[in-house]
C-alpha cells in the first residue's frame, strides 16, 4: 500500500514539474520580472484611466467620445496584458 502512495506522490510531482515547465515556456521572462512588468502595466492602466477622466473633465475637449474610446481601449489593453502576466500559481 505504501508503494501506491509513493507512486501517487511521484506522479503528482512529475505533473507539477511538467506544468511549471509548460508555464515557463509560455512566458520566457523570469517570474520576478514578469510580476514587476505585470504590476507596472496594471498601474499604467490606472494612470491612463485617471488621466482620461480628469483631462476630459477639466479641459474643453471637443470630441469627448473619441478621447473616451481611445482611453478605454488603452486601459483595457494594458490591464488585460498586465493580468495575463500575473502568476496564476499560489505560493504556499
For residue 24, the SS3 value is helix
The pLDDT tens digits of the residues spanning 36-85 come to 999 999 999 999 999 887 887 788 778 888 888 898 999 999 999 999 98
Q: Which residues, other chains included, contact 68 with Cβ-Cβ below 8 Å and sequence gap of 6+?
A: 52, 56
Q: Kindly state whether residue 90 falls inside one of the protein's structural domains.
A: no
Report if residue 70 sits inside a domain. yes
| Gyration radius from the chain CA atoms | 22
**pLDDT tens digits for range 23-40:** 556 556 677 888 899 999
pLDDT category at 92 given cuts 50, 70, 90 is very low
The answer to whether residue 67 sits within a structural domain is: yes
Cell 489593453 locates to: 77
In a domain, 92, yes or no: no
Quote the domain boundaries for residue 13. Answer: 2-85
Domain annotation covers residue 71: yes
- 25: in domain: yes
Continuous H helices in 27-87 = 31-58, 64-85
Q: How many CA atoms lie within 13 A of 85 on its CB side?
A: 21
Amino acid at each position: 500500500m505504501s508503494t501506491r502512495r509513493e507512486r501517487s506522490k511521484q506522479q503528482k510531482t512529475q505533473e507539477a514539474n511538467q506544468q511549471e515547465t509548460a508555464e515557463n515556456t509560455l512566458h520566457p521572462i523570469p517570474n520576478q520580472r514578469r510580476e514587476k512588468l505585470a504590476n507596472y502595466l496594471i498601474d499604467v492602466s490606472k494612470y491612463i484611466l485617471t488621466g482620461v477622466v480628469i483631462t476630459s473633465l477639466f479641459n474643453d475637449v471637443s470630441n469627448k467620445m473619441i478621447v473616451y474610446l481611445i482611453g478605454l481601449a488603452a486601459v483595457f489593453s494594458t490591464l488585460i496584458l498586465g493580468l495575463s502576466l500575473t502568476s496564476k500559481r499560489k505560493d504556499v
